[in-house]
Amino acid sequence: METPQMNAIQEEDNLSPEVAFQTPKLNDSDASSFSLSNMNAVGNVDGIPSQNRTFFASPRPSSLFYSAKEGNNSSSSIIYNPSFTFGENASSNANINEAALMKGKGNEGRRQSLKYIPAPKLVPPPPRTRSPVRGISPDAGSSKRSSMTLDSPFNFTTSTLQPHQQTPPSSAASRTSFRKGHRYKHSSVSMNFFQEPEVKIPLNIAKSLPIPDFNDLLSNLPWPKAYIQLSIAALQIFACLITFQVGHLYSWSNFITLSHFITYDIIGSLVIIFVENLSQFQVWFTGTITFPFGLNRIDVLLSFALAVSLCFVGLDLLFHIIEEFIVLFVESGSSLTNNHDHDEINEQIPHSHIANANDSQNENITLWYSILMINLVLSTLSLYKTFYANKYSNLKTKNPIITITYTAYLFIYPLLLDLLSSISDYLATLVISSLILWHGLTIARWTSTVLLMGFSTTSLSNSALFNNNDSTDTTAHTQQVESKAAKEKPSVRPRSMSSLPIATKNTKIRKTGFLNSAGFTENPTTIKNMIKDQIERLSEFKSRYILNYDDIVISKVNFTLYVVLIKITMKGGSDDDELMLRLAIDKCIQTSIPTCETTIDIDRI
Amino acid sequence: MNLQELLAKVPLLLSYPTIILSSNLIVPSHNDLISRAASTSAAEYADEKLIFFSTDHAIRLIFLPTFVASSFNLFAHYFNFINYSSRRKYYVLFTAIYFLSILTAIFHPIQSTCITLLIIKLLTTADESSPKIALNFKTILKTFVPFITLTLVILRWDPSFDASSGDVNKISTSLAAYALLILTLRYASPLILSTLSSSIGVVSKDTSVAQHSISRNKRFPLILVLPIFSFVLLYLMTIVNKTYNIQLLMVFVFFGCLSIFFLSLKDLFTEDGNQKKGGQEDEYCRMFDIKYMISYLWLTRFTILLTGIMAIVVHFLSFNEITSSIKTDLLSLLFVVVAEYVSSFSNKQPDSHSHNHAHHHSHLTDSLPLENESMFKQMALNKDTRSIFSFLLLNTAFMFVQLLYSFRSKSLGLLSDSLHMALDCTSLLLGLIAGVLTKKPASDKFPFGLNYLGTLAGFTNGVLLLGIVCGIFVEAIERIFNPIHLHATNELLVVATLGLLVNLVGLFAFDHGAHDHGGTDNENMKGIFLHILADTLGSVGVVISTLLIKLTHWPIFDPIASLLIGSLILLSALPLLKSTSANILLRLDDKKHNLVKSALNQISTTPGITGYTTPRFWPTESGSSGHSHAHTHSHAENHSHEHHHDQKNGSQEHPSLVGYIHVQYVDGENSTIIKKRVEKIFENVSIKAWVQVEPQNSTCWCRATSMNTISANPNSLPLQPIAN
């Protein structure tokens, strides 16, 4: 009785997000901002469609190959016809709305095809079913058939419970006969509901998931959060252009530097919006054959790219300072022809600060402060509405903090004296560029370790710099738990590989984990030794068992997921001993390293 | 490998004349001060002349040569080029460089370059069989009479020459310098050679003496103290007399070119060390080895000619002229040609002694290893990166030349270009370091090795290229609205053409480097190649736009060229970013995808297995199907049974994929047999997998929600009777 209801609820839950995305309505006052956001999104994220198309085009050959491969097998052509239909739907998925319609058609096709399945298979199954019951033939062929018949109930059960399994074609007949026997006990409606998941789930998850293209991303922008973020980014673009133009007109090099920072804020905002939107899709969390850890590593890759860009900006500012110093040397060296060299210098180095102090203090003080105020407001909005408001995006470069710091410095700048303003400008730019370089290098080193499948221990220790990031992650997980509590349990099934159950499982352990990790250093060797000692001290770990230090492999694959691979050699021991040891080791590792996937390879001699 | 020697030699041609020129420019010369003082009144000129003269002499003859010589020895020691086993060796070399530095102050920089190179060549090719008479008097006279004649003619034909006492003193000074040089070569060269040889001989007799000399070398403070002390004296001298100024930029250029010089020499020596492996590890052969290297690798045929031409080019860049008139320009060129001819004449001597040098040849031994040394050796010895490393040296040398030029000419258009070249050198260095570190084995921090570091370096270079493109676009748009009138187009053409030549050498080095490697560092090399290509296109754009501006006087061509160049760089950088991104996301291509699917199909059809979860497999190396590095796991060594023989064979096949999987089996089956079957399947398709076998009814994190479903499933009840 309960199984059909669960399936029905699952179907309704699948449809509800699409309906929710279609319902947002635009007011008359928001129509212009919406179109403006669309224009900006199209213009700024212009590189994304080609990249998505590249990713999206890759599943097509494998899908066609799979269909062709299954089509060659004549004995299973009738059974796998629905999968062929589903493959076509996946390859032609160009829009969510069209996908919904195609999914509906696919369901209808599957139901129609399922109705025809019992007919051609009615004649052969009865003899196979009868032969093991009677036990007449004692030969090997009979024993094989007997074992497969006995296995068929379990295969049927696991196919509904484990989405990665691919049903062997030789057991289809047995399952059909089972359904035939089952048919006399239940109604036809329950049989229809009961049959659907076995066809759908293995094809979805095992091979590849459709990668959303640009239109999918646009249609899935959550209202009103993403539109507010895009509006702030659009306003920042205008503010950036105005700041750059004013800085160039009045030779305010500080404004040109500020426009550089605002540009990087805009890029960071767009990256966060992109990652947040992409994380709504199943391909983000679920691992497939093509992307073993999903697309979640894009977050790490984009953080690394932005960190490298920060280093580039820092180096650029440092080089400008070096140019200024060299210009000072040249001017002091040739004091006789000062006017000519000064004009030449102003012509060829646009970042010269010499003409800056006079202009900023004479007139235009209102223009100075008004532009700074606008930029300060927009940067603060960007910081709290975009950079701190994300659930899934763990972008580590908090660019608006740098912009706000520099803007606050520029508020004080006109109050300084003529001589001090020049010196403080050098010092401020030097401090800002050094801070940017150090920050960018730190994040680049961290994210590069994750990208190289290394064991990054930063989040395991309570370092003062990244403690906020850990609290952000904790907040994100708490929000996930809350969002899970709002839903029913069957809705979790499509994301069985996602971080939701892991977050549920590890929320309590995380608190314990923080207490344990208080005394750790950031040395992977120390943590590995600690884990090895803990495993060897377990009561289930006998002295006859062998665990080498080199057989423990720990790596971090994205911002939240660790992978622990262990090889153990057991001398003696039964299946129960193996099971108890594995469960104990798994529990031990979960205590030390939260949100990890453990694989314990036990060899019994 | 003659091609590689040529690549390694080019930075030497550029850095050596720059060393000589920049060492003279650390303090402005007397002539510059005289020309500046001419603008003052004649009365003050008569009084200040004597003061300038004496101070200039003090700086030129005492302080500046001390600083130059001590700095030279410091860099030679730091780059482990010369092993100072005794103080006497230091003093001899110090004195030699001291006098050479004075010579460079007396003569014209171009003449100084050729004369000093010739002196080094004469010393390194001297006859060893008769140390008492190292150089024949007749040979020396044959060598230097043409130079004396040419120097006097150049001085005589100088338009500024007159019959006043100053210029006559200049002629007398040159003649005195030549006389002193000839006498020193005649009588002091045996002392130099015997000092170096005997000190080596003493060390080689006893190993403990060698170790003692090494430890004593660490307590030899003069190597470090003397440069600092002489620099402080120079600085105090300039503070006392405000007319003089130490040019810190020239000190920076001087130090930088010294570094390039010694690194390039070590690059040459490492090349020869590769060709002839083994040999005697004896300290006695070290000195002869260095002489052999200098005479046969650096100062080969046409080296003096090419270096002289480079000196002419560098001097032209710095002073906008070679000498003061066209006649003396031609005479300077003749000076360079005569220097090459004389050296080729004296080059006959080493041929008769080649068998002796071959006998004493041995591999260089580094008795003072540094941490930088190992990284340098890995860059230079690695086939993939050594060509790029040579180009990095050339690029850095050219950067220092641009710094020299931007300072001397006071037109700062190329100052930012020089700093931009510094950024390119940083990018090249990043690619080189990635190429070296990729070979490192796995560690605790990186359990799967650093195989993806090349891809990550390529991605980083792609991001940096995007930044450069944005800068180009912004600057081009700015120049469209605010055009800048170019004044010194001739100088811009010369420097852009030289930059183009440097980048063409880089592209050539890249082709030579790409010819050797098998594609393991494909993205890394592609990132480096795009940077070199960006610089090349930049130089081409500058040349074309400058020519068009000169023809039409329209400044619009400069931003148009910038936009075109930026677009080309952008179009070439985007595919690099796409391929490196896909690789870093651990994406499987179609071949590997089918491999995994085949394995999973076999697992699902294996009897006894009810299913699998979390099949995660990723490539061991990024994007290449070439040879892969075997992961060093001691797990296989623990099994001495024949039962695990297949596992060893599997590990030897260099798996292309690595990952893990959880397999569920029926409760009645034997888990060991199930595991062996699964491992066999993965070995057949060259996948290295961690396999966790689970009873179907047991719990696991990968099936956290399935247990609830099983317990809540009413169909589990009617299944049991059939199983029984």
Q: Calculate the average pLDDT of chain B.
A: 69
| pLDDT, greater one: A269 or A424 | A269
Split at pLDDT 50, 70, 90, the class of B346 is low
Residue B629 has pLDDT above 50, yes or no: no
- CB-based contact A166 B445, cutoff 8 Å: no
- CB-based contact B617 A603, cutoff 8 Å: no
Q: Say how far apart CA B461 and CA B463 lie, in whole Å.
A: 5
Find, among B640, B653, B655, B660, the residue nearest to B700 by Cα: B660
- Spell out which residues of chain B touch residue A65, defining contact as CB-CB under 8 Å: 590, 594
The predicted pLDDT at position B62 comes to 80
Domain-embedded: residue B303:
no
- CB-based contact A348 B411, cutoff 8 Å: yes
The predicted pLDDT at position B242 comes to 58
- CB-based contact A206 B604, cutoff 8 Å: no
The predicted pLDDT at position A234 comes to 92
Strand order in the sheet with B657-665: B609-619, B657-665, B687-695
Q: Say how far apart CA B610 and CA B697 lie, in whole Å.
A: 11
Q: Is the CA virtual torsion B42, B45, B50, B53 positive or negative? A: negative
Interface test with B, best of A64, A148, A177, A326 (most B CBs within 10 A): A326
Residue A165 has pLDDT above 70, yes or no: no
Nearest CA in chain B to A506: B701
* DSSP sequence for A247-284: HHHTT-HHHHHHHHHHHHHHHHHHHHHHHHHHTTSHHH
Q: Say how far apart CA B682 and CA B687 lie, in whole Å.
A: 5
Residue B546 has pLDDT above 70, yes or no: yes
The predicted pLDDT at position A481 comes to 36
Note whether B475 and B600 are same-domain residues: no
* DSSP sequence for A510-568: HHHHHHHGGG--S-HHHHHHHHHHHHHTSTT--TT-B--GGGEEEEE-SSS-EEEEEEE
Domain-embedded: residue B432:
yes
Identify which of B590, B692, B723 has the shortest CB distance to residue A150.
B723
The predicted pLDDT at position A239 comes to 92
- CB-based contact A452 B692, cutoff 8 Å: no
Instruction: Please state, as a whole number, how many other Cβ atoms lie within 10 Å of the Cβ of residue A187.
Output: 9
Split at pLDDT 50, 70, 90, the class of B322 is low
How far is A524 from chain B, CA to nearest CA, in Å? 6
Nearest CA in chain A to B589: A290
- Spell out which residues of chain A touch residue B701, defining contact as CB-CB under 8 Å: 502, 505, 586, 590, 597-598
How far is B268 from chain A, CA to nearest CA, in Å? 32
In the block, which residue shows the tokens 């070399």? B93
Split at pLDDT 50, 70, 90, the class of A14 is very low
The predicted pLDDT at position B19 comes to 85
Residue B318 has pLDDT above 50, yes or no: yes
Domain-embedded: residue B172:
no
At a CB cut-off of 8 Å and minimum separation 6, what does B454 contact? B434, B435, B438, B520, B521, B522, B523, B524, B622
- Spell out which residues of chain B touch residue A555, defining contact as CB-CB under 8 Å: 447-448
Q: Is B637 on the interface with A (CB under 8 A)?
A: no
Q: Which of A53-57, A384-388, B164-168 has the lowest mean pLDDT?
A: A53-57
Residue B150: C-alpha distances to residues B157, B174, B175, B556, B560 (Å): 10, 11, 12, 48, 49
- Spell out which residues of chain A touch residue B605, defining contact as CB-CB under 8 Å: 168, 170
- B195, B87 Cβ separation under 8 angstroms: no
Note whether B568 and B596 are same-domain residues: no
Note whether B391 and B441 are same-domain residues: yes
Note whether B550 and B592 are same-domain residues: no
Domain-embedded: residue B105:
yes
Strand B609-619 with B657-665, pairing: antiparallel
Residue B722 has pLDDT above 70, yes or no: no
Q: Is B251 on the interface with A (CB under 8 A)?
A: no
Residue-wise pLDDT tens digits, B424-445 = 787 778 787 888 787 778 877 7
Q: Is A241 on the interface with B (CB under 8 A)?
A: no
The predicted pLDDT at position A149 comes to 34
Note whether B601 and B534 are same-domain residues: no
- A393, A275 Cβ separation under 8 angstroms: yes
Q: Which of B156-160, B328-332, B484-488, B682-686 has the lowest mean pLDDT?
A: B484-488
Structural domain spans, chain A: 212-334+341-450, 522-602
How far is B178 from chain A, CA to nearest CA, in Å? 34
Identify which of A312, A323, A350 has the shortest CB distance to residue B415.
A323
Q: Which of A139-148, B460-469, B523-532 has the lowest mean pLDDT?
A: A139-148
Instruction: Please state, as a whole number, how many other Cβ atoms lie within 10 Å of the Cβ of residue B3.
Output: 11
The predicted pLDDT at position A364 comes to 67
Host domain of residue B89: 52-126+219-245
Q: Say how far apart CA B125 and CA A17 lie, in whole Å.
A: 86
Residue B478 has pLDDT above 80, yes or no: no
For a pLDDT cut of 90, what percent of chain A falls above it?
1
Identify which of A161, A293, A551 has the shortest CB distance to residue B635.
A551
- Spell out which residues of chain B touch residue A291, defining contact as CB-CB under 8 Å: 585-588
The predicted pLDDT at position A420 comes to 64
Note whether B425 and B527 are same-domain residues: yes
Rounded mean pLDDT, A167-196: 41
Residue B524 has pLDDT above 80, yes or no: no
Q: Is the peptide bond before A210 cis (omega within 30 degrees of 0)?
A: no
Q: Say how far apart CA A139 and CA B585 lie, in whole Å.
A: 52
Residue-wise pLDDT tens digits, B557-603 = 878 888 888 988 888 888 988 888 888 888 788 878 888 878 888 88
Note whether B538 and B405 are same-domain residues: yes
- CB-based contact A496 B705, cutoff 8 Å: yes
Residue-wise pLDDT tens digits, B223-246 = 778 888 888 887 777 777 656 667
| pLDDT, greater one: A380 or A521 | A380
- CB-based contact A349 B662, cutoff 8 Å: no
Split at pLDDT 50, 70, 90, the class of A567 is confident
* Domain edge (last residue) among B583, B611, B645: B583
- According to CATH, the topology of domain A522-602 is GMP Synthetase; Chain A, domain 3 (3.30.300)
Rounded mean pLDDT, B468-482: 80
Residue A113 has pLDDT above 60, yes or no: no
Q: Say how far apart CA A530 and CA A536 lie, in whole Å.
A: 10
Find, among B298, B275, B301, B300, the residue nearest to B358 by Cα: B275
Q: Is A191 on the interface with B (CB under 8 A)?
A: no
Note whether B530 and B569 are same-domain residues: yes
- A497, B696 Cβ separation under 8 angstroms: no
Q: Which of residues 198-237 of B touch A (CB under 8 A)?
A: none
Nearest CA in chain B to A259: B474
How far is B485 from chain A, CA to nearest CA, in Å? 9
SS (H, E, C) A486-521: HCCHHHHHHHCCCHHHHHHHHHHHHHHHHHHHHHCC
Rounded mean pLDDT, A311-336: 69
Residue B177 has pLDDT above 80, yes or no: yes
Nearest CA in chain B to A590: B701
How many distinct structural domains can be found in chain B?
3
- B323, B329 Cβ separation under 8 angstroms: yes
Split at pLDDT 50, 70, 90, the class of A391 is low
How far is A28 from chain B, CA to nearest CA, in Å? 37
- Spell out which residues of chain B touch residue A248, defining contact as CB-CB under 8 Å: 478, 482
Q: Calculate the average pLDDT of chain A.
A: 58
Residue A477 has pLDDT above 80, yes or no: no
Q: Which bin fits B289, alpha (ψ -120 to 50), beta or left (φ > 0)?
A: alpha
Note whether B477 and B594 are same-domain residues: no
For a pLDDT cut of 90, what percent of chain B falls above it?
0
Q: Which of A304-313, A421-430, B33-42, B650-659 has the lowest mean pLDDT?
A: B33-42
Note whether B425 and B405 are same-domain residues: yes
- CB-based contact A550 B582, cutoff 8 Å: no
Note whether B534 and B617 are same-domain residues: no
Residue A91 has pLDDT above 60, yes or no: no
The predicted pLDDT at position A329 comes to 57
Interface test with A, best of B421, B593, B694 (most A CBs within 10 A): B593
Domain-embedded: residue B184:
no
Note whether B413 and B488 are same-domain residues: yes
- B233, B62 Cβ separation under 8 angstroms: no
Residue-wise pLDDT tens digits, A487-498 = 333 333 233 333
The predicted pLDDT at position B85 comes to 63
Interface test with B, best of A2, A9, A157, A566 (most B CBs within 10 A): A157
Q: Which two tokens stand for residue B566?
A: 């930026």
Q: Is A496 on the interface with B (CB under 8 A)?
A: yes
Coil/strand/helix, residue B609 = strand
Residue A224 has pLDDT above 70, yes or no: yes
- CB-based contact B615 A295, cutoff 8 Å: no
Residue B41: C-alpha distances to residues B36, B46, B47, B165 (Å): 11, 9, 11, 21
Q: Which of A154-158, A246-250, A425-429 has the lowest mean pLDDT?
A: A154-158
Query: For the domain that residue B527 is a member of, what is the CATH number?
Result: 1.20.1510.10
